[in-house]
Chain A
Amino acid sequence: MFYRPETEAPLNALAEFLLREDNSLTRGERELIGTYVSYLNDCFFCQNVHGAVAGHYLNCSIDDIDAIKADFTTADISPKMKALLTIAGSVQKGGKNVTIEQVDAARSEGATDKEIHDTVLIAASFCMFNRYVDGLGTWAPQDRSFYVNRAPQRAVEGYVGSISK
């Protein structure tokens, strides 16, 4: 992949803040939003990197993450997370697909303005990252254990300086 450090810096800073900075949504919950959107966008690399990291934080296997991606409505996650994933799914289709009803449903499950904002921006930014990675035909290791094995290290190191690795 063509490497451009000047653009990588703000991209990494965005990922680092959105997915790892102190937040009322846990790191696992935020990685799950990114994973889900990447799954909807059929981006193999992103859904496996972030799915493995989500599994690491949520203490569940990659198979559990696959099950959540396929149908989060029946997953063992909070009603608030289900409402936020619904919003994320709408963002993936297009911003105008997010409805007032979906936002109200998230609020009624306790989601704050900041959590709704961050859910939309995480979903939107993964619509960028997925297109960037796939649009340039980035090579991705096909063996999923690669991502699972690297997840603990990624959870420690974060995303600063990570895109080119």
Chain B
Amino acid sequence: MSVAVKAIENTRAALEAIVQRAEERYEKRRQEIFRHTDRLFSRLMIGQWAFAVLLAWVVSPYAWQGMQKTIHLHVWVAVLLGGAITSVPFYLARTRPGEVATRHAIAVGQMLWSALLIHLTGGRIETHFHVFGSLAFLAFYRDWPVIVTGAAVVATDHFLRGILWPESVYGIANPEWWRFLEHAGWVVFCVSFLIMSCRKSDKDMRVMAERGAELEALSENAWRNSSVLDRAAADAAGR
């Protein structure tokens, strides 16, 4: 093999290695963010569960059937349904952190938590703010499809409960038929900006990774342009 051919092959290999390292840096950073956010949500899920049980216990701890005092259904709903909503995202966050399915399951679970809290507070408008907080938390992933999943869950929940059990979501028995569209409109407003922010953050991460590759390429160029004696001296110093 001639020296020229070998030099070309070395250059090509170095180029591929630099590009590969940039991709690895980008993926590594994304995975760090995904795993960190998964852990955050696993703790939040437990916190929400405890909060919901406390809320049900404080707001409506007992029901009366004649002279008999019984624990209100809402307490059981908070314990059992809350546990069910928490279990899958919590399990996935602990056993399969960083995976696509995990963060989408967390998005579903988080929005179901919004739905349950809204129900437990009798459709209080203030509890609807949990939806917007949750969507903002989901943006921590910097992965916009996760936000779309969350928005789809909350829109479906409002639509179905608005038809089947309007008191549970709006606190009144006969809301206008289009009430869910009003809520969905505000969700779309919020989500559209969060998606833009996620895409920008993701692009910035890639730019950072590529900037590293460009600097590596400059360093490689300087190395190749250095004299043979310089390289021999650097090699000797490295040993």
Is B truly associated with A?
Answer: no
Q: Report A's interface with B, CB cutoff 8 A.
A: none
